[in-house]
Amino acid sequence: MRLEKYLEILPKSLWVMTCNSGSCNGCDIEIVATISPRYDIERFGMKLVGTPRHADVLVVTGPVTKYMKDRLLRIYHQIPDPKVVVVVGNCGASGDVFYKSYNLEGPVDNIIPVDVYVHGCPPRPEAIIEGVAKAVLKLEAKREELLKAGVEK
Amino acid sequence: MWNKVFTGFGYWDVISWLIFFFIASFFALWLRSIGRRDYKEGTEQDEIYWSGNPVPEDGAEISVPASSSYWGFRKALEPYYKVLVAMHSGHIRDYVGYYVVTAALIAALILVV
């Protein structure tokens, strides 16, 4: 018997994969701050994972350089469905000061579909957590769709 | 045939080890069965994750071998290793010589002490 079938929430806590697509590392430091004792997202069961195979959420930082385009796509495709993409930082959301730079393929939504944008340079950890919380709702909706389509069990 | 064998150093019993093997196999398969099944076979979700890179034919192209992790130890202990490597000449007469010298030293130690 799989108890999660009877639950109205996700069968598991969100596991997050991060991809730095050319960020200055500022956003990545704030992402790491979310797992520090002050913010501690692990109390919600969320955690950063080292492989897309275990992830539900892809958090992307950076404006997507030409070099990173294929890699970002590959990581995105390697995450099992349902999945959501959260862009953290102005660079990933719009390109910010690097907008229309010769070396960019981004912003992120030029490459992969984005579900949640978290603005800031860098965003505060609270904002990142709020962004991921919004992603929960999106993920639930996607999971419902898959359930209706009979893809997900 | 299946009697217990007491070696004096431990315990060896075929039936016990078979039981242990099946219990361990059960847990291993159970853990495997609760893994994610919602990936799509035959797609990129099935491929090896190599930090987003295409999987190289020869991993040495883009990865540094783990042996380099210990370069500091090797550097610090270089004088010691130099002697050891030099001693391993590959000539059996050298090894027999070490054996004879060591046996003589131990014998002298035993006889004197």
Nearest beta carbon to residue B52 from set A19, A81, A153: A19
Cβ(A51)–Cβ(A21) under 8 Å? no
Cα A88 to Cα A41, A61, B63: the distances in Å are 16, 5, 29
φ, ψ at A30 (rounded to 5°): -70, -35
Average pLDDT, chain B: 85
Contact A80 B36 (CB under 8 A): yes
- Mean pLDDT, range B88-96, rounded to an integer: 93
Which of A19, A72, A78 has its CB closest to that of B45? Answer: A78
Continuous segment of H or E residues that includes residue A137: helix A125-149
Chain A contacts of B36, Cβ < 8 Å? 53-54, 80
Instruction: Inform me whether the C-beta atom of residue B7 falls under 8 Å from chain A C-beta atoms.
Output: no
Residue B33 is encoded by which pair of tokens? 């069965």
User: Do residue B40 and residue A80 have CB atoms under 8 angstroms apart?
Assistant: yes
The answer on pLDDT for A11 being more than 70 is no
Confidence of residue A46 (pLDDT cuts 50, 70, 90): confident
Mean pLDDT across the stretch B72-78?
A: 90
Model pLDDT for residues A48-68, shown as the tens digit of each residue:
999 898 898 999 999 999 999
Could you tell me if A59 and A17 are in contact, meaning their C-beta atoms sit under 8 angstroms apart? yes
- pLDDT for the residue numbered B63: 74
**For residue A18, what are the β-bridge partners?**
A59
Q: Which of B44, B49, B52 sits opposite A72 (nearest CB)?
A: B52
Query: Are the beta carbons of A105 and A69 closer than 8 angstroms?
Result: yes
User: What is the reported pLDDT for B30?
Assistant: 93
Among residues A109, A110, A54, the alpha carbon closest in space to that of A87 is found at: A109
Q: What is the nearest CA distance from B40 to chain A, expressed in angstroms?
A: 7
CA angle B109, B100, B91 (to 5 degrees): 145
Residue-wise pLDDT for A80-98, tens only, equals: 888 899 999 999 999 889 9
Mean pLDDT of B92-98: 95
Determine which of A28-32, A129-133, B38-42 has the lowest per-residue pLDDT on average: B38-42
Residue in A75, A80, A152 closest to B52 by CB: A75
Statement: the pTM of the whole predicted model exceeds 0.90: no
Mark yes or no for CB contact A81/B38 under 8 Å. Answer: yes
Task: Give me the total of CB pairs closer than 8 Å, taking one residue from chain A and one from chain B.
Answer: 39
ipTM: 0.71
Query: Is the Cβ–Cβ distance between A152 and B38 less than 8 Å?
Result: yes
Alpha helices, DSSP H only, in B34-91?
71-76, 78-87
Which of the pair, B2 or A79, is modelled with greater confidence?
A79
Whether B45 contacts chain A with CB within 8 A: yes
Whole-number pLDDT of residue A141:
83
Read off φ and ψ for residue B65, nearest 5 degrees: -60, 150
User: What pLDDT does residue A1 have?
Assistant: 46
Closest CA to A58 of A80, A95, A83: A83
